[in-house]
Structure 1
Amino acid sequence: MTHLDAGDRLGPADSVHALSPATGLTAAGVAERVARGQVNDVPVRSSRSPADIVRANVFTRFNAIIGVLWVIMLFVAPIQDSLFGFVILANTGIGIVQEWRAKKTLDSLALIGEVRPTVRRDGTAVEVGTSDLVLDDVIEIGPGDKVVVDGVCVEADGLEIDESLLTGEADPVVKQPGDQVMSGSFVVAGGGAFQATKVGREAYAAQLAEEASRFTLVQSELRSGISTILKYVTWMMVPSAIGLILSQLVAKDNELDDSVARTVGGIVPMVPEGLVLLTSVAFAIGVIRLGRKQCLVQELPAIEGLARVDTVCLDKTGTLTEGGVDVTELRPLDGADEGYVRTVLGALGESDPRPNASLRAIVDAYPVGEFTEEWRCTESLPFSSARKYSGAAFSEGDGVSSTWLLGAPDVLLAEDHPALAETTLLNERGLRVLLLARATRDLDDPRVAEDVTPTALVVLEQRLRPDAADTLRYFADQDVRAKVISGDNAVSVGAVAAKLGLSGATVDARRLPAEREEMAEALDGGTVFGRVTPQQKRDMVGALQSRGHTVAMTGDGVNDVLALKDADIGVAMGSGSEATRAVAQIVLLDNSFATLPSVVAEGRRVIGNITRVATLFLVKTVYSVLLAILVVCSQVEYPFLPRHLTLLSTLTIGVPAFFLALAPNKERAKPHFVRRVMRYAIPGGAVAGVATFATYLLARQHYAGPGALDAETSAATLTLFLTSMWVLAIVARPYTWWRVVLVAAMGAAFLVVLVVPWLQDFFALKLVGVTMPWTAVGIAAVAATVLELLWRWVDRRVPA
C-alpha cells in the first residue's frame, strides 16, 4: 500500500493537530475544528420539519377559500351552516398528525440506514456519523463504500473509484496518493484512505445525500395528476362562483343573510378540499406501514412507482440468495498438490484486506498456516465485477515467486478447456465455481488472464433465501415479469432460479447484442442472464425501458449501482454497499426480499384507492358547478344551504372516502390517472346535477307560494343524496362485506336525519306531502339507471 509522507496533505489550518495518514487527527484537533465550524454539518432530513408539515397542511389555496367563507358564515348564518369549517379543521388536523407520524417513522429508519464512515483518530479506526466528520479527517474506504465528502487520496491499494454518477464516464478511475477524490463517487475495487478537504455545504455529497433521502411528494403521476385536476377545478370554479354571487346577491330580492348563505352553499362544494388531504394521508400511512416492516422509502413516489412496475430485475446474490457462501469442495487439477493449493488459497485470502463474500468463505475454509506465513504478498489485484477475477503476486521464500489469479473459470480459460466441462456440471447443480490459476505474466499486464495454468476448482454453495420462491410466485401471479441479472455463470444462476420455481430461457450476457433494440428483443425472450457486467446491467435496464416497460432493479453490490440509478425504481438491501443505499429509492433494512410484495401492495392501495376517492370528490365538484350555472341561467335561488351540502358531503364522500382510501386494494395500477378519473366524474356529476335541478324546478311548481323554499330544498336534497349514494355504490365495487356495510350505514344515517325531529330542524330538512318526495325518489332512480348505463358504456368504450 502506498501513501503520502506525513504532513504532505494535512490540514494547513492546524499543523500541530494534523497528524500522519496512519494516525489521523487527535481528539484535540477534532475539537478545534468543531469549534471553528469545520464540520460536515449539512442537515440530512428524511422528512419535512414540523413547521413545514403544519405550513403545508394549513396554508393551502383551498383552505384559504374555505376559511374566508367560513368566517363570513360565522357572522351571517346559524352555526349549522358553518359546519363545513369545522370539518376542514378536523381534516387539516388529521393530515398534520399522519404526516408527523410518517416523519417519525422515516427519521428513525433513516438513522438505522445511515452511512457511518470509518475514520482514523488518535491512531484508531472508528466509525462516526456522516455529520461528525471534520475537515482533515482521514477516512478509510473499500469496495462499495460511498465517498461522502471531497478529499485527496493519501493511501491506495489497487483503489478504483467509479465517478459515473458525477461525470457520466462508465470506466472506473484508478486512484493514486495525491489524486482528488470526488464526493458522490464510490469504490468498485481495492481500498485506501483519503483526507477530507471539503466538508459541510462545500461538499457535493451532502447535497446529494440530503436530496436522496428527503421526504417528498413530487414527481409522481398521482400527485401531478391531482395538480392537473385542481387546475381544471379552479378554471370551472371561478366563473361559476362569480356568476352565482351576482345571481344571489343582485338578481334576487332575498334577505341578505339568506342570499349570502346560499351563495356560500353553492361555492363550498365546488372545492374538493379532502382530495389532497386523503392523498397525503394515504401516502403517509403507507410509509408508516412499510416502516413497521423495516422498509425505508427514501423517495415517497417509489411506493406508487413500484405498484406500476411490470418488470423486476433481480440481482441473484443478496436477493435470491443470502450474502454468504460456503466452500463445499476443492478439486485440484492436473495432479496439483492439494496441500500446496490450500496454502495458495490461504495466502490469497490474506492478501486482500477487504475480501468479498467468496474470498471470505475461502479465508474461513483455508486459514493461514505455518507455510503461508512465510509467503509475502508483493502485489495484489482486487476483485472487480468487470474483470471477474482477483489476483496476487507472492514471494514464497528461497527466491521463489509466483502470481495467482482467482476468478470465473469461463473467463480465465479457453472455451475448449476440459476443466470447463467439469465446471458446467457443477453449475447445473446451482453451485458456484472459482478457478485458481497460476499466471505467467505480471499482475499489471493487461493480458495477465491469458495463458494461465489452471490449478484447482473451488466449489461454493450459495444459501437460498427461504422467502425468495414465495416472492417470485407473487410477482408471477401479479403479471410482473422477473428477470434475474447476475455477474455469475449463467448455468449456475439458471439452476438457482429453477430451484426457486422461475422458468424461462437462460442467456450468457456475453452473447447479447450491444444495440439497444436488439438487446431489448433478447431480454423479452430470456429470463435468466449470467456473466453480466455492471455496464451491461445499466444497458439492459435502458433497453427494457425503451420497450415501454416500467423497471424495478434490486441489488446490494457496488456492481448494481448504475442499474439501480437508471431503473424507474431502485431497491437496495440494508446490508448492501453504501453506494447502492445512496442511489436506491427503497432500502430493505432487514434485507428481506419478501418485503417487496408489501411495497407493491401499498402502492396499489394508494393508486387504486385515490382513483376511487378522486372520482367521488370530483363528481361533487362537477354537479356543484353545473348547479351554479343552471341557477344563474334560471335566475332562481340556489337550492341548498351550506348545512345541506355538509351533510351530503359527509355521508356520500367524506366518511366513505376515508375508509376507501385506506382499504386494501390488490388491483394492478393503471396509467392515465386524470383521464380515468375524469371519464367517470364528468358524466356522474352531470347526471347528478341535472337530476337534482329537475327535482328542484318541479318542487318550486308543486310548492308554489311564500315560505316554500325549505320544502323545495328538502326534495332536491333527497334526489341529490340518492343519486350520490348510487355513485358511491358504483365506486365501492367490487363489494366486500365491509363495503356493503359502509354504503348501508351512510344510507341509514341520512334516514335518521329525516325521521328525528331535532335533526330535521338542525339541518332544515323536512319532506312535505307524499307526491313530491316520491317524485324525488323516482327522478333519483332514473338518474341511477342512467349512471349505471353510462359508466358501463365508458368501461367498454374507453381504453384503460
Structure 2
Amino acid sequence: MVTDAQATPAGGLTAAQVARRVAAGQVNDVPRRSSRSVGEIVRANVLTRFNALIGTLFVLVMIFGAWQDGLFGGIIVANSAIGIVQEVRAKRTLDRLAVIGETPVTVRRDGADAEVAQQQVVLGDLILLGTGDRIVVDGAVADSRGLEVDESLLTGEADPVRKAPGDPVQSGSFVVAGSGGFVAAKVGRDAYAARLVEEASRFTLSHSELMSGINRFLVYVTWLIVPIAILLFASQFGATGGVGNAVVGAVAGVVTMIPEGLVLMTSIAFAVGVVRLGRRRCLVQELPAIEGLARVDVLCVDKTGTLTEPGMDLDEVVVLSDALPGRRALAALAAADDDPNATMRAVQEGLADPDPGWKATGTVPFSSARKWSGTEFDGNGSWVFGAPDVLLAAGDPARARAEEIGATGLRVLALARVPDGSLAAPDALGGAEPAALVALRQRVRPEAAATLRYFAEQRVQVKVISGDNPASVGAIARALDLPGAGHPVDARSLPEDTAELAEAMERNSVFGRVGPQQKRAMVKALQAKGHTVAMTGDGVNDVLALKDADLGVAMGSGSGATRAVAQVVLLDNSFATLPSVVAEGRRVLGNIERVANLFLTKTVYSIILAVLVGLVHIRFPFLPRHLTLISSLTIGVPAFFLALAPNSERARTGFVPRVLRFAIPAGIACGVATFAGYRLAAANPATAFEEDSTTATLALFALALWVLLLIARPWNWWRLGLVAAMGAAFLVVLAVPWLRHFFALRPDNLRNDVIALAISAVAGVLLVLVLRWDARFGRAQGR
C-alpha cells in the first residue's frame, strides 16, 4: 500500500507501475451510478406489489371463471414492459451524459501531465490540483503553492483549510485557492468518495412530494382491499350460491380498486422528461430534480458564467501613479501565476507589456472570500490584485474612479503595492498604495435577455447574486432589462438576521460583493419565506448555496466541485436551456396530477360499488371484462397520452388534498349513479344478468367519460379528439357482434339503458356543480 507522499517520485508513476497497479486491482473502480442496472430495472418493474396482487387475482379467475374475464392480467405484461423500456431509455441517456459531464483528473505520469477519467486513477498516482478541482480520492499533499481546501461537505466547517506537504486530503472536498498535488493513498471503495458519489449521483425517486403523495394513496387502498374482498366474497356467495361466481364477482370489485397504472405513468413521465432534457444537453443527476424544476418560484443566478460567458477581455489599464511601475508589476503578476483564473487569463492575453522577469518569493492565491491575490517579488516589493472596494480605503479617489468605470458595466480590479511582509498575514492586509485600475469587458450571453423575459412571464423571480462590484453587476442586469436592476445592493451592508435578510431579498433583485457563506444564507432566507429556490453557478464560491438550494443547477464548464453537488448540469453552458428545464418539470408534474385524478376516481367508485353491493347482498353488477373495457377506454389509454402532453401550469403544493377534492366527489358520483341504474334494472326479474350488467356498464362508461372530459380541461382539438375517440371505440364494441359477445354485452333493454344514462347525466351535472362550489370555496379560503 502507498501511504505517503515520498512513495511516489516528483515525476509521477511510470507506465509500467500503472499497469501493475491496474492488474492488481488498485484502481479507482467506483461504479458510475447515474442509473440503475438493467437487472435492477427489470426486477423493480416485474417484482412489484401490484403485479403480485393482480397475478393472484388472475389465477383465481382462470380457475373459477371464463378466460375472457382474465383480460386484466395483461396489465402485468403491459406495465412491466412499458416501465422497463422507458427506464432503459432513460438509463442510456443518463449514462451517456454522465460520461460527458464527468470532470477528468489531471495526473503526472512518466514526468508528463495528462488528463484521465476518475475511474482510471490508480494507487500512488500523483494528482495535480487547481482552483475549483474536486478531490476524488484520499491521499497526502506532496506539493502546495498556497493550497486551500474547502472541507465543508465533509465536516460542515465553512472556513478553507490551508494544506502543507504531508497533510491529508479527503475525497469529497474541493480546492478554493492555490494549486498543488497529492498522492492517492486510498482509491475505489476504500476512499471516502465511494459513498459520496454513490449517494449523490444515484437515479432515485426519493424525497419527492409527488411520490410521497402517491405512496399515501397506495397505502390507503391496500388497507381497504382485504376487508372489502371478504365482504364482496361473502355477499356474492350468498347472492349467487356458487363459489365460482362469488370469486369472479369479488375479483371484479377488487381489481378495479387498484390504481395499477398510476405508478407506471409517473415513472414513464419522469423517464421521458429525463430523455427530453438529455436531448437538450441537460444532465439530470437526481430524478426528484424533475419535480423541483416545476416548483421553482425564485431563481438565484451568479452573474459570471450565467448571465455572462466565462471568458473576459482586457479593456484598458488605467495607471494611477507614475511613481509606481504598475504595468510592469501587472505583467509580472500575470507571468507568475501558473494556475490563472478567468480574470488573470484575460490580463495575460490582453496585456501588451512583456514579462519583466521579476522573481516571485511568496504568493497568496485568489480566494472568493478575500477577493484578491498577491505576490511578493525579490527586490521589487509586494503587490496585490483584486476588488477596489476591498483593497482601497473608502475615501481614496482611485476607489471613486473605479466605481465610475464599474457603473458602465465593466469589471474593475485594482493593482496596489503593499508593505513588504504584509502577505504573511493576509487577513490583516493594510497600507495598500494604488498603482493601476484594470477594466475587463465581460461577455454577456446573447440568450440571457430572452431567458430573463421568459422567467418574468412565468412569475419566477430572478435574483442576481454576485461577488463582483454591485455597480458593475447592476449595469449588466439593467442592460438585460431585469426588473429591479436599478437598485443594486452591496451585500456587505445586509443584516445577518434571517428574517431581516429575507425582507431585503424580497425587495431587491441585484446583489454584489456577496461571499460564499452569504450566498448560502440568502438561499436559506428565501426558503424561510416559503419560496422554492433554484440556484445556478459555476464556481467554487457557489458550491455551498447550490447544495442548500431546492434545486442546484451547474454550468458544464464549471468547477468539478460545483458539478458534483448540483442536481442538474447544463452541459452546453447555455442559460437559454433553463426555460426548457423548468417547462419540462411543469409538464411532468401537471400531467401526473391529471392522471392521478383519473386513477383515484376509479379507485373511489370501485370502493363505493363494492360496499353498496356487499351491504345490499346482490350480485356484483360487472364481470371483470366489463371493468377492463371501461378502465382501458376512460383511464388507461387516455392517461398515457395525458401524461406526456404539453403542460405549462406552475406546480403548487398540496398534491394529495387537491387530487382527493376531485377524485372523491367524482368517484362517489360514478359509484352511486352506476349502482342506482343497476338496481333499477335488476328489480325486473324478467331481465337476465347480462342485460342488467350491460345497463350498469353503459351508466358507468358514460359518467367515466364525462369525468375524463372534465380532467382534460383546458380543452383543445387533440384532447377533445381523444375523448371522442374513446367514446367511438365503445360504440364500436357495442356495434360489432363478436366484440359485443366477447365482452358479454346485451344492450337489449332500451328502457333500462335510457333510464341509467339519464341517471348518469343528472349525476354528471351535480358533479360539475359540486366542483364549481369547491373551486369557489377554495378561492374564498385562499387555497
Superposition TM-score, scaled by structure 2 size = 0.97
Instruction: Give SS of 2:373's match.
Output: strand
After superposition, give the CA deviation of every residue in 1:372-412 in whole Å (9 maximum; x if it has no partner).
353111111111101111111113xxxx3211111111111
1:271 aligned to 2:289?
no
Give 1:546 deviation, angstroms.
1.2
**Paired letter, 2:46:** V
The 2-side partners of 1:264 and 1:441 are apart by 89
Cα shift at 1:361: 0.4
Match of 1:454 among 427, 434, 440: 434
Structure 2 gap segments, 5+ residues each: none
- Which residue in 2 is equivalent to 1:525? 507
2:445 is matched with 465
Equivalent residue, structure 2, for 1:426? 405
C-alpha distance in 2 between matches for 1:73 and 1:238: 17
In the alignment, residue 778 of structure 1 is paired with which amino acid? A
1:682 aligned residue: 664
2:53 is matched with 65
Task: Determine the structure 1 residue equivalent to 2:334.
Answer: 349
Give the unaligned 5+ runs of structure 1. 1-6, 12-17
Deviation of 1:765 after TM superposition, in Å, equals 1.1
CA separation in 2, counterparts of 1:528 and 1:124?
45
> What's the RMSD between the two structures over aligned residues?
1.5
Partner of 1:763: 743
Q: Distance in 1 between matches of 2:558 and 2:48?
A: 40
Cα drift, residue 73 of structure 1: 2.2
Q: 2:416 is aligned with what amino acid?
A: A
1:402: which partner in 2? 381
Q: Is the 8 A contact 2:314 2:351 kept in 1?
A: no
**Aligned match of 1:383:** 366
Contact residue 188 and residue 194 of structure 2 kept, 8 A:
yes
* AA partner of residue 595 (structure 1): T
2:315 aligned with 1:328: yes
Distance 1:431 1:359 in 2: 15
1:582-731 equivalences under 5 Å are 582-702=564-684, 704-705=685-686, 708-731=688-711
Q: Which amino acid aligns with 2:470?
A: A
The letter of the residue matching 1:769 is N
Aligned residues: 776
My pick for the range that moved more, 417-426 or 136-145, is 417-426
Equivalent in 773, 790, 797 of residue 770 of structure 2: 790
Percent same amino acid at aligned positions? 61
Q: Is the 8 A contact 1:38 1:134 kept in 2?
A: yes
Deviation at 1:71, TM superposition (A): 2.2
Q: Which residue of structure 2 aligns with residue 37 of structure 1?
A: 25
Q: Confirm whether residue 541 of structure 1 aligns to residue 526 of structure 2.
A: no
Q: Classify the secondary structure of the residue corresponding to 2:576.
A: helix
Displacement, 1:236?
2.1
Q: How does 1:52-201 map to 2 (within 5 A)?
A: 52-201=40-189
Q: What is the distance in 2 between the residues matched to 1:103 and 1:402?
A: 58
Q: Deviations over 1:314-371 (max 9, x none)?
A: 000000000000001111113357xx433222211121111111100000012672xx
CA contact (8 A) 1:389 1:407 kept: yes
What is the rounded CA distance, in whole Å, between the counterparts of 2:377 and 2:270 in structure 1? Answer: 57
Question: 1:9 maps to what in 2?
Answer: 4
Q: Cα deviations across residues 266-294 of structure 1 (Å, max 9, x unaligned)? A: 11101100000000000000000000001
What is the deviation of 1:591?
Answer: 0.5
Of 404, 411, 415, the match for 2:390? 411
Amino acid at match of 1:312: L
Which piece of structure 1 moves more, 328-337 or 405-414?
Answer: 328-337
1:499 equivalent to 2:479? Answer yes
Q: Aligned partners of 1:10 and 1:435: how far apart in 2? A: 39
Q: Deviations over 1:210-266 (max 9, x none)?
A: 211111111100111110111111122221112112222x31334443333222111
In 1, the alpha carbon distance for the partners of 2:61 and 2:88 equals 31
Query: Residue in 2 aligned with 1:479?
Result: 459
Alpha-carbon contact 1:19-1:26 (below 8 Å) kept: no
Post-superposition offset of 1:44: 2.0
CA distance in 2, matches of 1:147, 1:446: 25
| Alignment check: 8 A CA contact 1:428 1:491 kept | yes
Conservation of the 8 A alpha-carbon contact between 1:440 and 1:448: no
Q: Is the 8 A contact 2:462 2:509 kept in 1?
A: yes
Matched residue type, 2:665: P
Partners of 2:512 and 2:184 in 1: how far apart?
39
Q: Secondary structure at the match of 1:382?
A: strand
Measured in 2, the distance between the counterparts of 1:718 and 1:223 equals 34
- Are 1:295 and 2:277 counterparts? no
Secondary structure at the residue paired with 2:182? strand
Displacement of 1:637 in angstroms is 0.5
Q: Return 468-477 or 489-498, whichever deviates more.
A: 468-477
Q: State the distance in 1 between where 2:465 and 2:240 align.
A: 75
Question: Aligned with 2:440: secondary structure?
Answer: strand
Separation of aligned partners in 2, 1:468 and 1:604: 21
Matched, 1:564 2:546: yes
Shift of 1:55: 0.8
The farther-off stretch of 314-323 and 250-259 is 250-259
The 8 Å contact of residues 441 and 448 in structure 1, kept in 2 or not, is answered as no
User: Could you list the per-position Cα deviations for residues 47-84 of structure 1 after superposition, in whole angstroms to 9, with x for gaps in the alignment?
Assistant: 00001101111111111111111122234333321111
Aligned partners of 2:5 and 2:166 also within 8 Å: no
SS in 1 for 2:620: coil
- DSSP-derived class of the 2:745 partner: coil
- Report the Cα offset of residue 767 of structure 1: 1.2
Question: Structure 1 residues 487, 276: closer, same or farther in 2, change over 3 A?
Answer: same
* Letter paired with 1:319: T
1:448 Cα deviation after fit = 6.1
Secondary structure class of the residue paired with 1:523: helix
Bigger mean CA deviation after superposition, 95-104 or 435-444: 435-444
1:348 aligned partner, one-letter code: L
- The question of 1:392 aligning with 2:375 is answered yes
User: After the TM superposition, which of the residue ranges 522-531 and 764-773 deviates more from structure 2?
Assistant: 764-773
Cα deviations by residue, 1:766-790 (Å, 9 ceiling, x for unpaired)? 2123211110110010010011011
- Please state whether the residue corresponding to 1:416 is helix, strand or coil: coil
What whole-Å deviation, never above 9, does each CA across 1:733-762 have from its counterpart, x for those lacking one? 011111010111111111111122121111
Partner secondary structure for residue 513 of structure 1: coil
SS state at 1:135 partner: coil
Q: Which residue of 1 aligns with 2:533?
A: 551
Structure 1, residues 143-196: CA drift from partner, whole Å, max 9, x if none? Answer: 000111111111000000011111111110010001111111110000000111
Q: Does 1:735 align with 2:723?
A: no
CA contact (8 A) 2:327 2:353 kept: no
Determine if contact 2:149/2:175 at 8 Å carries over to the other structure: yes
Q: Is the 8 A contact 1:351 1:380 kept in 2?
A: no
Query: SS at 1:270's partner residue?
Result: coil
Partner residue of 1:253 out of 240, 253, 259: 240
Residues of 2 paired with 1:549 and 1:216: CA distance? Answer: 24
Residue pair 1:435, 1:457 contacting (<8 A) in 2 also: yes
Equivalent-residue separation in structure 2 for 1:273 and 1:368 (angstroms): 72
